[in-house]
Structure 1
Amino acid sequence: MNVILLFGPQDVGKMTVGQELEKQSGYRLLYMTMDLLVPFLSKCGVYPHA
């Protein structure tokens, strides 16, 4: 499975970039806040800083 993870401060264009990646790559866009994503990442051995 290929995953592209975009993260950063509010209002910097993450959604715009994600939508363009979806159009150009054929990947599907999944929007999720970090609060929901951290438990999943930690199960995969990735521990983002709070």
Structure 2
Amino acid sequence: MLDEQFINLISNNGFPIVISIYLLLRFEKKIECLEQSIQALRYEVDRSKDKE
């Protein structure tokens, strides 16, 4: 069933579009983790500036 849906998406939308969507969905969690790390780093930098 899933294979039929995947093949149907490719035939209807084109290979590049399907691959782009797949990669965006796959890397979404990694991007969120990076965003949280950047925010934590920003917080620590601001905190260290306040101590000076």
Q: Normalized against structure 2, the TM-score is what?
A: 0.32
Largest Rg, 1 or 2: 2
Q: Normalized against structure 1, the TM-score is what?
A: 0.33
